[in-house]
């Protein structure tokens, strides 16, 4: 989530909490309220309705406020701090390295690689999704792909790779209807 969206959520949350508080104050006897509001206050349903609406709005806006304050934006780069300064490695570089590591596998079709970066803990997770055509022993192929991706990315970053997840699909088992 970018900074503008976070700021917008925080502002909506603060305004919503203030509005919910003011709405809750209408239930109690506050001086300088208009006469029509005071006649509504005499109704039995008024208290329960206003309190229920206030509680609902407070919960919704509290969720928005917490989301704006505590949500981290997805990181597009890994920042490694050294004694000489910072080193920035882009997410695209990590993904292309992982993609190059699996291109030697025969029969691979439509590989998609996604790197998940946690800059605070300085680790990377890699998710690979692809199809294999005409291959047997998918678990062993997947283990080989995991090992190769992990080796390639760790040698690039000089940091440990947290996990490598592989999602393989065998194209033989997929059926496609053909219209003649």
Bridge partners of 89? 78
Where does the pLDDT of residue 170 fall: very low under 50, low under 70, confident under 90, or very high at 90 and above?
Answer: low
Mean pLDDT computed over 106-130: 83
For the record, the structure tokens of 74 come out as 């997805």
Task: Quote the CA–CA distance of 105 and 17 in Å, as a whole number.
Answer: 56
- Judged against a pLDDT cut of 70, whether residue 17 lies above it is answered with yes
Of 8, 155, 127, nearest in space to 69 by CA = 8
Mean pLDDT computed over 118-141: 80
Where does the pLDDT of residue 96 fall: very low under 50, low under 70, confident under 90, or very high at 90 and above?
Answer: very high
pLDDT of residue 90: 85
pTM exceeding 0.75 = no
Task: Quote the CA–CA distance of 25 and 53 in Å, as a whole number.
Answer: 12
Of 7, 10, 8, 21, nearest in space to 63 by CA = 10
């Amino acid at each position: 989530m970018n900074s503008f969206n976070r700021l917008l959520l925080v502002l909506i949350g603060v305004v919503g909490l203030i509005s919910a508080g003011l709405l809750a104050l209408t239930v109690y006897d506050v001086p300088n309220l208009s006469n029509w509001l005071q006649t509504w206050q005499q109704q039995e349903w008024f208290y329960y309705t206003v309190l229920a609406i206030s509680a609902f709005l407070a919960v919704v806006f509290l969720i928005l406020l917490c989301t704006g304050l505590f949500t981290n934006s997805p990181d597009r780069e890994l920042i490694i701090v050294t004694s000489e300064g910072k080193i920035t490695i882009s997410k695209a570089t990590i993904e292309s390295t992982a993609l190059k590591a699996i291109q030697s596998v025969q029969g691979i079709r439509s590989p998609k690689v996604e790197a998940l970066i946690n800059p605070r803990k300085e680790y990377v997770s890699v998710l690979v999704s692809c199809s294999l055509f005409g291959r047997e022993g998918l678990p062993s192929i997947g283990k080989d792909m995991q090992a190769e991706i992990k080796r390639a990315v760790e040698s690039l970053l000089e940091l440990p790779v947290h996990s490598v997840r592989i999602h393989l699909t065998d194209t033989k088992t997929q059926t496609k209807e053909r219209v003649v």
